[in-house]
Amino acid sequence: MTIMNELYQLVLSDQMMIPKTLFLKYKYLSIDEEELAVILHIHRFSQEGVHFPTPYKLAELMSIDEQKCSQILRQLIQKDLLTIIEFHTENDIVNERYSLEPLWKKLYQKQQEPKETIDTSDQLMNIFVLFEQEFGRPLSPFEIETINIWLDDEVLEPSLIKAALREAVLMNKLNFRYIDRILSEWSRKGICTVDQAREHSKQFRQAQQNPQSIRPKADPSIYYNWLEEED
């Protein structure tokens, strides 16, 4: 009995606070068991003062390798369940840490209509897939966070972000800084729909093809393809 009591006391002294709602609702947020395990480890690390554990550190505690762990982290960020935020240390050094605040918000917000949730989720995931296809590689956490900022903080329509990506591809300037400049320019000019973006791009192309320009006349066929696409 004494040994059992000691074991029980050890169990009680080695607790980690985890919301019960996470275990009851994680499947409704399309979180699989591997993703759940990564979430739990990030939560535990955070409680122990380690705010930005590397994929290597996380994988050491799991039955997956570092590459798979990195993939899961990207998935969690893409699903808007995990985010990376910057903070200043006491020495005013900028550092980064993971935050599960988006997950907690989703867990405790009121249930939305299933169809609306599915449609929105699919639309957002398609953005990340499209970016990875165009860049020919997985997106970095910073790049994923940039897209989330466009969607959440700047409240840009996914279709408009896709249009800016296509514009960058056509201009052979495939980088996030250029895409952000396109979106900022459109926002400054009050452009908030794909139709408006198409019209603005046509006008820009026509100005570039002015006969008085010293530049060789560009072949419009290489620019207008995306303008004719259906969203």
Domain span(s) for CATH 1.10.10.10 in the chain = 1-110
Q: What does the pLDDT read at residue 231?
A: 46
Q: Cα separations (Å) of 184 from 2, 142, 192?
A: 68, 18, 11
| CA–CA separation, 192 and 157 (whole Å) | 8
SS3 of residue 173 by DSSP:
coil
**Whole-angstrom distance, CA of residue 158 vs CA of residue 129:** 12
pLDDT, one tens digit for every residue, the chain (231 residues)? 567 677 656 655 667 788 888 988 898 888 999 999 999 999 999 988 899 999 999 999 999 999 999 999 999 998 899 999 988 777 888 889 999 999 998 888 744 444 444 445 555 667 888 888 888 888 887 888 888 888 877 778 888 899 899 888 888 888 999 999 999 988 888 888 888 888 877 777 677 666 555 455 544 444 444 444 544
Residue 67's pLDDT is: 93
So what's the pLDDT on residue 198? 82
According to the model, what pLDDT value does residue 202 have?
Answer: 75
CA gap 198, 228 in Å, rounded:
9
Say if CB 170 and CB 226 are below 8 A apart: yes
**143 closest CA partner among 154, 159, 132, 158:** 132
Half-sphere exposure at residue 162, Cβ-oriented, CA atoms within 13 angstroms: 20
Please tell me the CATH code under which domain 1-110 is placed: 1.10.10.10
CATH of domain 112-231: 1.10.10.630
